[in-house]
């Protein structure tokens, strides 16, 4: 039975890397009103009011809360939009980004 062994004996290394994801993290502060934080989460991160309230209260109680994960540029853009929205009203509201493992 010649030449029946046509399958490769080794598995090709995948050519694509998994895209790295970046977390957007909401930091608590003592000054930004709760309803303002909730409104920013709804507008910038497209959350429902219930989702936004949950994230806001988790940051309020624990000091910080992961809002969502995105590719690097989208995470950085949304973090900046949220932080700038607070700054425009004189609030210290801060969103940071952190690379996922």
63 binds ligand NFA (CB under 6 A): no
34 binds ligand NFA (CB under 6 A): yes
46 binds ligand NFA (CB under 6 A): no
Q: Could you give the CA distance from residue 23 to residue 58 in angstroms, rounded to a whole number?
A: 16
Choosing from 56, 67, 79, 85, the residue that interacts with ligand NFA (CB under 6 A) is 56
Contact 70, 20 (CB under 8 A): no
Task: From 9-17, 27-35, 45-53, 69-77, give the range in contact with ligand NFA by CB under 6 A.
Answer: 27-35
Long-range contacts of 48-53, Cβ-Cβ distance < 8 Å, separation of 24 or more: none
- Distance between first and last Cα of the chain: 50
37 binds ligand NFA (CB under 6 A): yes
């Amino acid at each position: 039975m010649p030449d029946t062994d046509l399958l490769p004996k080794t598995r090709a290394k995948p050519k694509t890397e998994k895209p790295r994801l970046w977390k957007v993290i909401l930091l608590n502060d003592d000054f930004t009103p709760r309803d303002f934080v909730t409104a920013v989460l709804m507008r910038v991160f497209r959350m429902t009011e219930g989702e936004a309230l949950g994230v806001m209260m988790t940051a309020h109680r624990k000091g910080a809360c992961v809002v969502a994960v995105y590719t690097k540029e989208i995470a950085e853009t949304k973090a900046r939009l949220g932080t700038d929205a607070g700054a425009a009203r004189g609030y210290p509201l801060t969103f940071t980004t952190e690379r996922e493992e």
